[in-house]
Amino acid sequence: MQMKDKFGIKLGMWLFLYTEIMLFGALFLLYAAYYKKYTANFAESAQELNLVFGTVNTVILITSSFTVAASITAIHNKARKLAIALLATSSTLGIIFLINKYFEWSHKIHAGIYLNSDILTNGPFGSNIFFSLYYLITGLHGLHVFIGIMLLIVCGIMVAQKRIVPGNYVFLENVGLYWHLVDLIWIFVFPLFYLVI
């Protein structure tokens, strides 16, 4: 029976991550072009986003990256229950992130700021583009967070069922990589939308 080529599997996962980087990269390209064009409007619009929510969400994702990385340390150290707890924590943090996002979005939608809304189409061009990109990028990012949460829950179950074990946790490592990518994207989304002034 052939030994699993763990590095090969890991390589495949990193290659997949590169496609995700390029996928979001296309949106960052659009952001870059429009930031150049509408710098002042972007800054004004950024003020209308809730800095507290944004910062809290950033802290949440960074922390969840830590807990995911720690869960791999845990499984390596044969601390199964700790690994499950850490994965549960990561998923919970992810869910809180999405709940925060839900509050942010509904607040904006109630204020009449949504895709193709009257306020946006009749307002400054830069604000329309800013918020269109905001919904698009955070929406796509949120979808990835959701998928990541599902994967983390699956990993938690697999650890509990001993299908992820100290001798073979490549699947967990790869899900971890995916989750860290979600964190990486947010690390750039946060300043570009909340901190430009």
Partner 1 sequence: MMTTKLSHTGPLSYGRLLLVLGCLYILTGITVFSSQVDLGAFNIWVILLIASIKASLVLLFFMHLKYEPPLLKRTFIATIFILAIFISFMFWDVAFRQAL
Partner 2 sequence: MNHVSFFDEPHPHHTGVLSWLHTYDHKRIGLLYLFSILFWFFTAVAFGLTIRTELMSAGRTIMGAETYNALFTLHGVIMIFLFIIPAVPAILGNFIMPIQIGAKDVFFPRLNLLSWYLYVGGSLFAIASLFANGPPDTGWTFYVPFSTTTQTNVSLTVTAAFILGMSSMLTGINFITTVHRLRHREMGWMQIPLFTWTLYATAWVQLLATPILAMTLALILFERIFGAGLFDPYKGGDPLLYQHLFWIYSHPAVYIMILPGMGIISEIIPVFSRKSIFGYKTIVASSMAIAIVGSLVWAHHMFVSGMSDVAIFVFSLLTFLVAIPSAIKVFSWVSTMYKGSIVMAPPLFLALCFIYLFSTGGLTGLVLGAAGTDIHLHDTHFVVAHFHFTMFGGAAFAFFAGLHYWWPKIFGRMYNFSAAYLASGMLTLGFMVHYTLMFVLGMWGMPRRYYDYLPQFEAANFWAGIGAYVMVAGIVLMFINLFLSLKFGKQASGDPWGGTTLEWQTPSPPPLKNFIATPVIAHYPYDFRHIPPGQDADER
Contacts to partner 2 by CB under 8 A: 5, 7-8, 11-12, 15-16, 18-20, 22-27, 29-30, 33-34, 37-38, 115-116, 120-121, 124-126, 128-129, 132-133, 135-136
E strands in 18-142: none
Q: Position 103: which residue type?
A: F
Q: What is the 3-state secondary structure (H, E, C) of 178-190?
A: HHHHHHHHHHHHH
**Dihedral, 112, 115, 117, 122 alpha carbons, nearest 10:** 110
- 78 is written with which tokens? 């044969």
Decide which of partner 1, partner 2, none touches 129; Cβ closer than 5 to 8 Å per partner kind.
Answer: partner 2
Looking at 4, 9, 16, 33, which residue binds partner 1 (CB under 8 A)?
33
Under rule CB under 8 A, residue 177 binds partner 1: yes
Decide which of partner 1, partner 2, none touches 188; Cβ closer than 5 to 8 Å per partner kind.
Answer: partner 1
Q: Which residues pair with 29 in a beta bridge?
A: none
Decide which of partner 1, partner 2, none touches 133; Cβ closer than 5 to 8 Å per partner kind.
Answer: partner 2
DSSP single-letter state for residue 169: -
Tokens 């904006």 sit at which residue?
108
Neighbours of 85 (CB within 10 A): 16
Looking at 1, 15, 110, 118, which residue binds partner 1 (CB under 8 A)?
15
Q: How many residues bind partner 1 (CB under 8 A)?
A: 46
Q: What are phi and psi of 3, to 5 degrees?
A: -70, 145
Q: Which residues bind partner 1 (CB under 8 A)?
A: 6-7, 10-11, 14-15, 18, 21-22, 25, 28-29, 32-33, 35-37, 51, 55, 58-59, 62-63, 65-66, 68-70, 72-73, 76, 173, 176-177, 180, 183-184, 187-188, 190-192, 194-197
